[in-house]
Amino acid sequence: MSDTRERYVEKMKAKLDEWNAEIDKLEAKSRQKEADARKAYEKQIESIKEKRRATRENLDEMRQAGENAWQDLKAGVEMAATSLGEAIRSAQSRF
């Protein structure tokens, strides 16, 4: 694996770790809410987790791609990561 790709993968793994911590905080906050509000928060958290899963899958696919193909897959990783980051920020502002 090229040094550039490896650095990118490591950077994205670190970002996923940060987002995992943020998701944990959101889950803790949702447990403190009343039942109706908790359901809405849990639904939003599940959506965030799905985006996290998609980002992780895209990153794994990129990591396994050939040397020439990984740059093409990078755009998908970036899009998924952007969507995940926006979803977390949105949830944080609502909680």
**pLDDT mean across residues, the chain:** 89
Express as a percent the part of the chain with pLDDT over 90. 51
Query: What's the burial of 84, exposed, middle or buried (CB within 10 Å: 0-12/13-18/19+)?
Result: buried
Burial 62-72 (b: 16+ CB within 10 A, else e): bbebeeeebee
pLDDT in tens, 23-66: 999 999 888 888 878 888 889 999 999 999 999 999 999 888 88
The helix (H) or strand (E) run that includes residue 28 is helix 3-31
CATH of the domain at 64: 1.20.5
Number of structural domains (the chain) is 1
Q: What range defines the domain where residue 77 resides?
A: 3-94
